[in-house]
């Protein structure tokens, strides 16, 4: 498949709304290339590739989705507000140990599942005119099988701006399926075809493979790997506990405090910076009720003058363990 053919295939997902010159989301490009079976090296930091062949900047959360393109004011006004944390006395090791205790005490019978249901938001902008487009919040439901067939269904969620108010009335009604991609045997290319072993070594190998980062992995590197892995699998408590062990051993880990995520759930936040020159501060949200990893956010470390985004601006977030939401797709 040529680049032109790839672009046309992506645009056919929502031909009525996506203009021909629209930049291709990086995660969408990666997912489609993997689905059609073309070998491609994984990007080192897919959510922070500020330039591309199309000279577009795309910070991506959702996997291939229908998008709403519209004129927009400056990017600064459109990014979600950062979460506000309350300080805690516990250090990172105590926070992780408490989460692991809750995971071990859980009576929920959960097997690893080849599915990832998430609620996400992402930001896209062009450095040429410093304009931004805010995409509607969407449920992304990836289901795949051992024979590497499956589907990705994207469903419109409530649309909100940075203040949580409803935005354009012509958005699809929440619950509307805006993209339904099916793929057949051997077309899907996951990080691992078999359930990850609940060990630190297994999780470290997957983290290196998914990020391309060199050892030792920073806390931000591991958190980015968690995002990739949980975008393909629903993990067991034991698997998540192994991930937490890996995070706990990574340099640069810090405790952000307690807060409520963007669905109102009580969480404790851990922070880390990606290795290299990436302009990203990663936050991982852990439920204080279940010990499970339920959220991922990325914010700018430094100002980005091209997009007129100041340091601290949220550039994407993704929430997991959302099946109990009444408006989640079934």
Tell me what pLDDT residue 196 has: 96
Q: What is the pLDDT of residues 43-61, one digit of tens each?
A: 332 332 222 222 222 333 2
User: Dihedral of CA 93/214/118/141: which sign?
Assistant: negative
120: which DSSP letter? E
Distance CA 251, CA 220 (A): 9
* 3-class state of residue 176 by DSSP: coil
Tell me what pLDDT residue 162 has: 52
Quote the distance between the C-alpha of residue 251 and its chain's center: 22
Judge contact between 83 and 259, C-beta under 8 A.
yes
* Measured CA distances, 281 to 169, 205, 262 (Å): 33, 22, 18
Judge contact between 200 and 244, C-beta under 8 A.
no
Q: Where are the domains of the chain?
A: 3-319
Tell me what pLDDT residue 12 has: 38
Tell me what pLDDT residue 64 has: 28
Percent composition of the chain: helix, strand, coil (DSSP 3-state, to 5): 25, 25, 50
Tell me what pLDDT residue 282 has: 96
For residue 284, give every residue at least 6 positions away whose Cβ sits within 8 Å of its Cβ, in sequence order, or none.
Answer: 223, 226, 247, 269, 270, 271, 272, 293, 295, 296
Q: Which residues of the chain have pLDDT under 70?
A: 1-78, 109, 123-136, 159-171, 277, 307, 325-330
Give the closest residue to 263 by CA, choosing from 175, 326, 169: 326
Q: What is the pLDDT of residues 107-145, one digit of tens each?
A: 776 789 999 999 988 765 555 554 555 556 789 999 999
Tell me what pLDDT residue 156 has: 84
Tell me what pLDDT residue 168 has: 52
Q: What is the pLDDT of residues 187-208, one digit of tens each?
A: 999 999 999 999 999 999 999 9
């Amino acid at each position: 498949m040529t680049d032109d053919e790839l672009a046309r295939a992506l645009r056919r997902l929502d031909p009525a709304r996506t203009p021909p010159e629209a930049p291709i989301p990086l995660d969408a490009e990666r997912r489609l290339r993997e689905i059609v079976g073309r070998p491609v090296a994984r990007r080192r930091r897919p959510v922070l590739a500020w330039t591309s062949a199309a000279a577009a900047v795309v910070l991506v959360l959702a996997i291939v989705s229908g998008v709403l393109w519209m004129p927009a004011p400056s990017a600064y006004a459109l990014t979600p507000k950062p979460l506000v944390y309350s300080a805690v006395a516990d250090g990172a090791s105590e926070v992780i140990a408490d989460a692991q205790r809750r995971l071990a005490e859980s009576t929920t019978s959960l097997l690893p599942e080849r599915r990832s249901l998430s609620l996400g938001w992402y930001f896209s902008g062009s450095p040429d005119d410093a304009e931004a487009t805010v995409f509607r919040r969407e449920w992304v439901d990836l289901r795949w099988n051992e024979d590497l067939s499956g589907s990705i269904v994207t469903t419109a969620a409530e649309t909100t701006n940075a203040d949580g108010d409803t935005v354009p009335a012509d958005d699809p009604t929440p619950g509307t399926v805006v993209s339904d991609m099916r793929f057949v045997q051997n077309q899907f290319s996951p990080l691992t075809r078999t359930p990850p072993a609940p060990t630190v070594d297994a999780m470290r190998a997957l983290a290196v493979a998914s990020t391309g980062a060199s050892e030792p992995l920073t806390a931000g590197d591991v958190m980015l790997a968690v995002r990739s892995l949980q975008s393909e699998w629903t993990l067991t408590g034991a698997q998540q506990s192994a991930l937490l062990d890996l995070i706990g051993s990574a340099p640069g880990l810090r405790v952000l405090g307690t807060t409520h995520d963007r669905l109102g759930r009580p969480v404790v936040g851990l922070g880390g910076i990606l290795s290299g020159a990436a302009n990203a501060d990663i936050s991982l949200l852990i439920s204080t009720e279940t010990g499970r990893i339920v959220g991922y956010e990325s914010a700018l470390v430094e100002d980005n003058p091209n997009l007129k985004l100041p340091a601290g601006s949220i550039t994407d977030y993704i929430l997991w363990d959302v099946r109990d939401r009444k408006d989640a797709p079934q």
